[in-house]
């Protein structure tokens, strides 16, 4: 059900903690996570105590279908049956896999799950205006730009805009 052409999405395990802690040290990842540095002990604790996935908070590890290697994390959060909407976020923590089509595949798989199994009406997200690669991926999957939040985050000494994007059920490309 949660398998695509290149990736499989599965629940995060306590044994993923060291891998996650390594990824959090990568500035490309910490930039999108926007948070204070965390220790390995804190990541281990968080992984051990992680609540089970629910309709409102679905956080999954992205694995390479070919090798079974963990390569990133993808999430659908804030889903409510009343609104029919959820927010998508993703990062590939393993730099080796970036640019290989894995992110596009994982976004497609999770959106398909959101529409078919969770009966969502739409998925929305926020992406840095400067993140041309991510914006390209979301557009390729079918997301449409619907607005801009001005100077929403600070990075490398400058304020950057965020782009709001959304995908409606029926707009997901194959
Ligand atoms: C963004 C991310 C999820 C995309 O996943 P990915 O597996 O690297 O992306 P893919 O290989 O599936 O696709 C990359 C596409 O973007 C294009 N691309 C890459 N850099 C680009 C740029 N600067 N401008 C325009 N297009 C770009 C590639 O050519 C490719 O397009 P194509 O398939 O049409 O040739 C991943 O790179 C990542 O996690 N980056 C770091 C964290 C991050 O930015 N997360 C998103 C926060 S909103």
Q: What is the pLDDT of residue 79?
A: 97
Ligand 1 contact via 102 beta carbon (within 6 Å): yes
Instruction: Work out the angle at residue 90's Cα, subtended by the Cα atoms of residues 102 and 100, and round it to the nearest 5 degrees.
Output: 20
Average confidence (pLDDT) over 89-103: 97
**CA dihedral of 162, 150, 86, 115, whole degrees rounded to 10:** -60
Task: Flag whether pLDDT at 1 surpasses 80.
Answer: no
Ligand 1 contact via 20 beta carbon (within 6 Å): no
Domain spans in the chain, listed from the N-terminal domain onward: 7-168
Ligand 1 contact via 99 beta carbon (within 6 Å): yes
Ligand 1 contact via 139 beta carbon (within 6 Å): no
* pLDDT tens digits, one per residue of 123-163: 999 999 999 999 999 999 999 999 999 999 888 889 999 99
Cα 103 to ligand 1 centroid, rounded to whole Å: 7
* pLDDT tens digits, one per residue of 13-51: 999 999 999 999 998 998 887 778 889 999 999 999 999
Ligand 1 contact via 143 beta carbon (within 6 Å): no
CATH of 7-168, one of 3.30.70.270, 1.10.340.30, 3.40.190.120, 3.40.630.30: 3.40.630.30
Average pLDDT across the chain, whole number: 95
* pLDDT tens digits, one per residue of 44-75: 999 999 999 999 999 999 999 999 999 999 99
Q: What is the pLDDT of residue 37?
A: 86
Query: Rounded to an integer, what distance in angstroms lies between the CA atom of residue 20 and that of residue 14?
Result: 10
**Ligand 1 nearest atom to the CA of residue 28, by list position:** 41
């Amino acid at each position: 059900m949660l398998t695509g052409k290149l990736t499989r999405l599965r629940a995060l395990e306590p044994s993923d903690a060291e891998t996650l802690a390594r990824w959090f040290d990568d500035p490309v990842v910490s930039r999108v996570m926007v948070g204070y540095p965390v220790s390995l002990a804190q990541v281990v604790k968080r992984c051990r105590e992680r609540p089970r996935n629910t309709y409102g908070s679905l956080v999954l590890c992205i694995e390479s279908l070919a090798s079974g290697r963990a390569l990133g994390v993808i999430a659908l959060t804030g889903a409510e049956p009343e609104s029919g909407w959820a927010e998508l976020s993703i990062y590939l923590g393993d730099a080796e896999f970036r640019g290989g089509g894995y992110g596009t595949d994982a976004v497609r798989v999770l959106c398909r799950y959101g529409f078919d199994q969770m009966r969502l009406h739409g998925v929305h997200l926020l992406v840095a205006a400067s993140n041309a690669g991510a914006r390209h991926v979301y557009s390729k999957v079918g997301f449409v730009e619907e607005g801009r939040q001005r100077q929403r985050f600070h990075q490398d000494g400058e304020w950057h805009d965020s782009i709001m994007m959304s995908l409606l059920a029926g707009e997901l490309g194959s």
